[in-house]
Amino acid sequence: MAMGTPQEDYVDAAAATLGLHIPAEHHQAVLMYFALAANMAALVNSLPLTAADESGNVFVPVAPEVGE
């Protein structure tokens, strides 16, 4: 197995673990979207949180009013 970037190695290892075949013609696009997701995760993880911050773990949907 050829060594690539850490991201490429991770994507390849994760795909192999899951039994997921990534066709060669899609491999670069998968890496591109993996990098995009990693960048978004870094933004989220960079937000400072304190003990006073609460999680938004409860979602209560509200039905739209008739006519909306």
pLDDT at 59 over 90: no
Tokens matching residue 43: 């933004």
Closest CA to 38 of 2, 5, 66: 5
Assessment of whether the complete model's pTM goes beyond 0.75: no
pLDDT tens for each residue of 2-20: 578 999 999 999 999 999 9
User: Percentage of the chain surpassing pLDDT 90?
Assistant: 60
What local confidence, expressed as pLDDT, does residue 55 receive? 77
| Residue 59, number of CB atoms within 10 A of its CB | 5
Domain spans of the chain?
6-45
Q: Where are the alpha helices (DSSP H) in the chain?
A: 6-18, 24-45
Closest CA to 29 of 42, 11, 48: 11
pLDDT at 22 over 90: yes
Terminal Cα-to-Cα distance of the chain (whole angstroms): 57
pLDDT at 1 over 60: no
